[in-house]
Structure 1
């Protein structure tokens, strides 16, 4: 029965059926074939989303949408360009830096890539950079957003694993910074092979002018993360405060108007509904797999292979890299966390380390076919084949995988900051 269920899901995914429905259909079919009430499915679906930690998701989505609509990314880009324009390859470093700055307000790689690609890649091409380089650096740097807090995948993992969202947020900061450093190293080597790059001049007056325009946005992470890590409010409350602050910034800058609010709320509802539908359908499938004792069988298999926590993390990273290429990250988390968490506990693996590693490994799948959501966003915004976006991203996958290995072999990098903050 389990094999038939998995084959059906695999076939539906190959046929490009949305992940939520690829899980929901076979799950309901299993209940019918085993003479179980469909009311059970309704209870499972309802209970899976009736979680206080998950309440932060629509608010963080709203925060990201407002930041995008308010033109915050453009302000960050102008300031970074004024500061680093005179550096050879400066636009590459600017792309990474802007994604790092924008990630404090947006927990979505897709939103990051959509917002920044339209501005950054044409600017790079006008200044002598190849389009493939622009696609690669913008796509890869967008992956910082779902790792750096506030991170929507982190909220989902924290709810599933019953760990502190604040601790997981704090644990993700250093890995996200390592991602940015690694991407900048790749930029350094790639721009040396592009002789036609144009270097812009440096003017303090331009730096001061653009710097004034980013003071407001740079306060957003201070308010959000400072409030969470300082114990002033919960992640859910921080998301609400952040969204309100971004709304005030947008109105203050006159980049948001009352007529924009219906569209903002509509986009937020659509994105949140998609996430919650995946969470609920994956929860139903998780119940089916649990009833078929799949978690116990996988646990016995893994523990039969190794009793070493480091080897276990290597296996987890490999599994996430593979699953992330074919299944949405949210669905993978909901399905796999309840299976892997008990194994991690038996091997004395910190659940915070496991969470950061899983999230980063899954996000790499956004840059790899056949799912590769970020690749499709770049293809759509820049009118290029998906294969071109993937070829541009290939060199930038190397530092991302290396950061995964650093987390595995040096887990203290993840746990140090939460420990310092007493989380």
Structure 2
């Protein structure tokens, strides 16, 4: 169910946004979608979200269809959730709750699981009218949906806060371990190419096609949640690291963006970003805008080169496909491809090579303790090979391109 014109996602067509919400629901196992509709809301009611007449109408339809769970594609306050569940005699999830469920089901690495649990606890802290069960769940998911064999636990705020502290401590250990791996890789150091894009844009299919890996690639939202990294040898013989990341989505709740920031750190360290777009989607421009906003909120450096990869050209008609390929040929930084058939990949790989084949030189820098901004830039650019702390500051051994050196020298102070 999607709320109407007052909803924050005003730049999207309601019917297309509803289709995306249904796809989100289908992405969660054991759910059968029996109906969906756009509900026009001139004004959201503080207690029930909908007007009483609409609440009664929907109640009758839910009873007839024997509905157990209602999904509202938008924010629902704890009070609205409690009142609607009482009125309809069903469980209710808003958009954040549903995305959390999907994240919990898809997360595979230790860090991914911890990040989901942390986000879920922060979400549940404001909803103590709900039961939370992810600590003792007997299946994937967080228990918002419910299921056989689950025990529902009414947790108070103190218990949640204690669990948050414990998870943050565990997460700190995981992050430190990952930092050690990253530091070891810096000494190699291969350039990092990060795939980003709206969920279901075809990133994982492209990743598999380019590397021969077998990352989960399905026509399903949020098929990939944890970053996957593989080595890739370009046609020139140059070796790079290709990183597949979680798909972005419009209105991803702020607390989820923050929770998954660590998961997306590979993007922040990338030497080249490939923004994969589903060019056949009717709202490809709006999806691209959403990706751009999230990249900006993550603090991605504007100096990092980025290609737009217009994927799924195999789903277009011959004339449209030919026009896109012509645009590709005359527009720098745009590459039309089909991750499914492999069309356009040869040109894309050659372009990646041309960007990453910049000559790199080594240098030893001496930075005073007060030059924190310059030191942070070097680490952000992933150019540090070795670093030692001296009485007067830091001695840093770097390997960088002329572009990176010029940017470093332009830093004030």
Provide TM-score, normalisation by structure 1: 0.22
| Greater strand content | 2
Higher relative contact order (CA 8 A, sep 6+): 1
- Calculate the TM-score normalised by the size of structure 2: 0.23
